[in-house]
Amino acid sequence: MKYSFHPPDSKEVAKQVLEYLVQDGPVTSMLPSGFQAVLPAGTEIIDLNLEADGTLVVNVSDDFKTYQAENEQKILESMTHTLTQFENVQRVKLWINGEEQNEMPVNGTPISDGYSRANGINVHQVQGVDIMESKATTLYFPMQGQGDEMVYFVPITQHVPMDEENTYQSVVQALMDGPAFDLPLQHFVNTGSELAAAPVLEDGVLSLTFNENILSNSAKSEIADEVMKSIVLTLTEQEGIEAVEVNVENHKEVISESEQPYTEPVSKEMLTPTESL
């Protein structure tokens, strides 16, 4: 679910969400197994202030400065991705104890213009990909929590080679191929799954038609929940896409694992919010 940031209520929601990122904080025990908070222990979220241009100023205590240099990028990405889930927050700026920061305090990452989703999250450089002919794209892949049965969807940003005639096809293909590096993420798409037709965007709905390999059970026209959720979470990150319609050639309709037919395009809001991190 996506909230609008309108104080005072939303300020408390955003503050609580940030507290999930504080190590040894009051909600650490609620994090899924295998996930870790990234903000240094003792960090206090002093205040949040939304500016007219969509910049959210986050004012934290001096304890924030105690993180290790190698964690700086992860901290920036996690804070940004968390707070830009509010629909009117476009970027995040950092203040420490009431003083504006033009760079991160430990490793000096420039942040004078703020940090946005355009900077990516969990950014990985893919070997052999020409950066000039590709686009940094956030893809969502499923990961099994350690010690539990819940599947979580992890956003990964990598450079994807783009087909200039249909960039959506390039994004879908990258998702089908899986992460281009070694991470503990599930291999969730059947071998041979591919688009059977070019994607079509109309009125905010992206229509995708796959071959039968995308199905987990062809006889029942069933598509795995992990596949559907990864497709929707990934494609709705693209500008102008509000929902995704998934079709399969030679099948009149597609159903979920709980045998519910997908009778209308699926939006991010229709997915369970707590399962995407």
Closest CA to 17 of 9, 160, 193: 9
Domains of the chain and any CATH numbers: 9-119 (3.30.300), 123-275 (no CATH)
For residues 38 and 35, give the distance between their C-alpha atoms in angstroms, rounded to a whole number.
10
pLDDT given at position 128: 55
CB-based burial, 136-160: b 16+ in 10 Å, e otherwise: ebbbbbbbbeeeeeebbbbbbbbbb
pLDDT given at position 101: 96
pLDDT given at position 135: 79
For residues 208 and 158, give the distance between their C-alpha atoms in angstroms, rounded to a whole number.
22
pLDDT given at position 265: 96
Q: How would DSSP label each residue in the chain? A: ------TTHHHHHHHHHHHTTBTT-TTGGGSPTT----BPTT--EEEEEE-TTSEEEEEE-GGGGGS-GGGHHHHHHHHHHHHTTSTT--EEEEEETTEE-SB-TTT--B-TT-EEGGG-SSEEPPTT--GGGEEEEEEEEEEEPTTS--EEEEEEEEEEE--TT-HHHHHHHHHHH--SS--S----S-TT--BSS--EEETTEEEEEE-GGG-SBTTTTB--HHHHHHHHHHHTTSTT--EEEEEETT-S--B-TT--B--SPEEGGGS-GGGB-
Tens of pLDDT, residue by residue, the chain (277 residues): 444 555 555 677 778 778 878 887 655 555 544 456 788 999 999 999 999 899 999 999 999 999 999 888 888 888 887 788 777 888 999 999 999 999 999 999 999 989 887 776 665 555 555 555 677 788 888 876 555 566 677 777 777 888 778 899 999 998 988 876 655 555 678 889 999 999 999 999 999 999 999 999 999 999 999 999 999 999 998 889 999 999 999 999 999 999 999 999 999 888 754 333 2
**For the CA atoms of the chain, what is the radius of gyration?**
20
For residues 37 and 31, give the distance between their C-alpha atoms in angstroms, rounded to a whole number.
8
pLDDT given at position 274: 35
User: Which whole-number Å values give the CA distances from 52 to 90, 102, 118, 131, in the listed order?
Assistant: 10, 20, 19, 33
pLDDT given at position 186: 58
Do 75 and 39 contact (CB within 8 A), yes or no?
yes
Q: Which positions ≥6 away from 67 have C-beta within 8 Å? A: 38, 39, 40, 75, 106
